[in-house]
Amino acid sequence: MTQDTIRFEEGKPCPVQVAGTGGGLSISANGDMLLIGSIPNPTEEQIAAWNGKWRAKLITESEFPAIPIFAIGSEDWILEAPCNPCDNEKEAPGFCEALYAKDDVTMAAILVDSETGLIRKIKQVPLDEMFIERLVLSWNPFRYEANDYNKSFTAQEFAQKVGDIFKMRSSRELWMTSW
């Protein structure tokens, strides 16, 4: 049996299908984080910012898993990365424990031109230990199928809830009120 590996290379087509634009975050069963940012025709300034300093925060809403949000290069470019822990658990069981157990968490950040599907920039982004701890604590209750003791969200419920959050406040407002 052969095992296919996915390779990301600047200037090459992105091997992962990206639907729409914005940020998509996934976490593997061994706790590796991957962010794919898909934007139309990234400018040289955006590519330079992607390679710059990153900051991470969490948008928290009552009875909902925290949403990672990133300032890329400066606070002029804010990228949200909603991720449903229940869906992630189905794809990569045990990801929360693996993510929390890592000594140093580095996220692979891939910038994709949504018009061409080509990878424009790849950056390894170190993430703060406190950010990871808060993320895992927020996501743990939402990892499993809903029962009498917890509430998880189907993909449709999750998308609706995220849409409602972003209708109420802009990315800038969410960044300023996040921790």
pLDDT at 127 over 90: yes
For 6-50, the pLDDT digits (tens) are: 789 999 999 987 776 788 888 999 999 999 999 999 999 999 999
Q: Where are the domains of the chain?
A: 22-144+151-171
For 83-94, the pLDDT digits (tens) are: 888 888 888 888
DSSP letter for each residue of 22-74 = EEEEEE-TT--EEEEEEESS--HHHHHHHTS-EEEEEEEETTEEEEEEEEESS
